[in-house]
Amino acid sequence: MAKAHQINPERARWLEVLGVSMPLCLSYLPIGVACGILLNAAGMNFVLTFLVSIMVFSGGAQFTLASLLVSNAPITSIFMTLFFLELRYALLGSSLSRYMRNESQKSILIFSASMNDENYAINYLKFVTDKNWTAKDALLVEYYSLASWATGNLLGGLIGSAVQIDLVIVDFALTALFIYMIVMQVRQRLTLLIGLLSAGLSIYFLTLVKSTLGIILATVLASFVGFLIENRVRRYAKDPDHTWILGKLFRPSSTRNTVEDRQHIKKQEAAQAKEQEGSETVDAKDNGE
Amino acid sequence: MAWINTFNLAEASALIPSHHNLTYHLIVIVISAIAAFVPRYFPMRFFTNRKIPEWFNEWMKYVPISLFTALVIKGIFISSDYGLVQDHVKLLGNIMIYGHAGQIVAAIFVAITAYFTRSMAASVLVGLVGVWLFGLFL
């Protein structure tokens, strides 16, 4: 029973999930080291950098914290800056909540505490495309990424300023991760259009409000436009799934079907089989009489 | 995170104010942890706790794509002081473009890799090699 939900019962589940989170863990390690180095330069020893990485667990927030400490910002402004920086997680949490409905209060508390842009991205993708993905697996992804992040921070705190790291290159690992996520997300023309819209809006809002609040504004607005358009099309089109805007984009054959598609096909087949069965029994009855 | 380029480590350690001792750092850590925890936990708790209208779920469906593009755009085109990044392409006679030239080209390669391989590891690897390589000669 315990093994029933596994993708490949030959392999242990934790190994399977580790494989899924490995690319993230490997990119977190050097960024964590860089973050530890910066926090160390801002006056924290390696125990403290390790502690921050576990308690805050957010790249953006920790890098910002280092700069705030160096500029001797008051504690209230540290709190406000970080709070607005982290406000986008309100959106992430809300969008994952539909997959966490059956979880206990305690596990939601634990899950949300170590949620992050990157492990959210992995978990969201898995929840959408893999129907066997459970909240437990999602939590495991968070813990693996936390472990590599904390290790990086600890190492960075220990090394201090002895090593120079090219942050531009290291930081691009995360950008690449998000580009991968975008490519995986885009399955309809509408998703692509919303992505482009969000790109434009984010440039506009980021340069306008001069803070990461711009990301939140762009995300809320672009996603709402996506919802509005889909809603209109579904209401007024005769065959919404085959309209141009909701039509599927071409993908290489191996990536064309999502889990939902396959489920849909299976359901249709099952319905057909049932129909046939039904007609056969009717035939049998007819013959009997 | 791009502001780190201008972050001088040696200067930074010389600038640490005297009241930044262990207690102060511990307070800062707790404060930061609260700031990070509140936006993560309460909305999620709120929305897993009650019946969510379908339209909200439909809306949230478009959050990931919007958020990921916004994050990528911020990484490639927005500088640390929230202005547009300006870069000169040596290869094309030093013309000025917006955004980090090397990162833009690397991003295209990442997208192509992701599209055809569906592998996260391959995409990240191509991205790292690409940004290093194109950074050298663009």
Which residues, 6 or more positions from A191, have their beta carbon under 8 angstroms from its beta carbon?
Answer: A185, A226, B62, B65
The whole-chain average pLDDT of chain B stands at 84
Distance from CA of A5 to the nearest CA of B (A): 23
Provide the ipTM: 0.81
Residue A216 has pLDDT above 70, yes or no: yes
**Tokens, residue B39:** 């936006």
Q: Which residue among B16, B48, B65 sits closest to A191, beta carbon to beta carbon?
A: B65
B136 at the A interface (CB within 8 A)? no
Residue B6 has pLDDT above 50, yes or no: no
Chosen for mutation from B54, B65, B76 (greatest number of chain A CBs closer than 10 Å) is: B65
**Tokens, residue A239:** 């065959």
Distance in angstroms (rounded) separating the CA atoms of residues A139 and A134 = 9
Distance in angstroms (rounded) separating the CA atoms of residues A158 and A40 = 8
Instruction: Say how many CB pairs under 8 Å bridge A and B.
Output: 330
DSSP A240: G
Distance from CA of B20 to the nearest CA of A (A): 7
Up-side HSE of residue B63: CA atoms within 13 Å toward CB?
A: 23
Residue B99 DSSP SS3: coil
Distance from CA of B94 to the nearest CA of A (A): 21
Residue A288 has pLDDT above 60, yes or no: no
pTM: 0.73
Distance of alpha carbon A197 from the chain centroid: 20
- Band of the pLDDT at A190, cuts 50, 70, 90? very high
Question: Of all residues in chain B, what percent are helix, strand and coil, respectively (each to 5)?
Answer: 70, 5, 20
pLDDT score recorded for residue A6:
47
Q: How far apart are the first and last CA of chain B?
A: 22
Distance of alpha carbon A7 from the chain centroid: 20
B96, β-bridge pairs: B88
pLDDT score recorded for residue A97:
87
- B22-49 and A105-113 helices, crossing angle to 10°: 130
Using DSSP bridges, classify how beta strands B86-89 and B95-98 pair: parallel, antiparallel or unpaired: antiparallel
Distance in angstroms (rounded) separating the CA atoms of residues B131 and B27 = 38
* pLDDT 10s digits, B100-125: 999 999 999 999 999 988 887 788 88
> CB–CB of A54/B29 below 8 Å?
no
- Band of the pLDDT at B98, cuts 50, 70, 90? very high
A248, β-bridge pairs: A188
Closest chain A residue to the Cα of B9, Cα to Cα: A41
Give the helix ranges, DSSP H, for A186-258. Answer: 189-209, 213-236
Distance in angstroms (rounded) separating the CA atoms of residues B55 and A58 = 30
Distance in angstroms (rounded) separating the CA atoms of residues B62 and A186 = 10
- Residue A186, burial from CB neighbour count under 10 angstroms (0-12, 13-18, 19+): buried
User: Over A26-79, what HEC string results?
Assistant: HHHHHHHHHHHHHHHHCCCCHHHHHHHHHHCCCHHHHHHHHHHHHCCCCHHHHH
Chosen for mutation from A55, A198, A220, A249 (greatest number of chain B CBs closer than 10 Å) is: A198
Distance in angstroms (rounded) separating the CA atoms of residues B127 and B133 = 10
- Residue B62, burial from CB neighbour count under 10 angstroms (0-12, 13-18, 19+): buried
B52 closest CA partner among A129, A219, A134, A100: A100
* pLDDT 10s digits, A87-115: 888 888 888 888 888 888 899 999 999 99
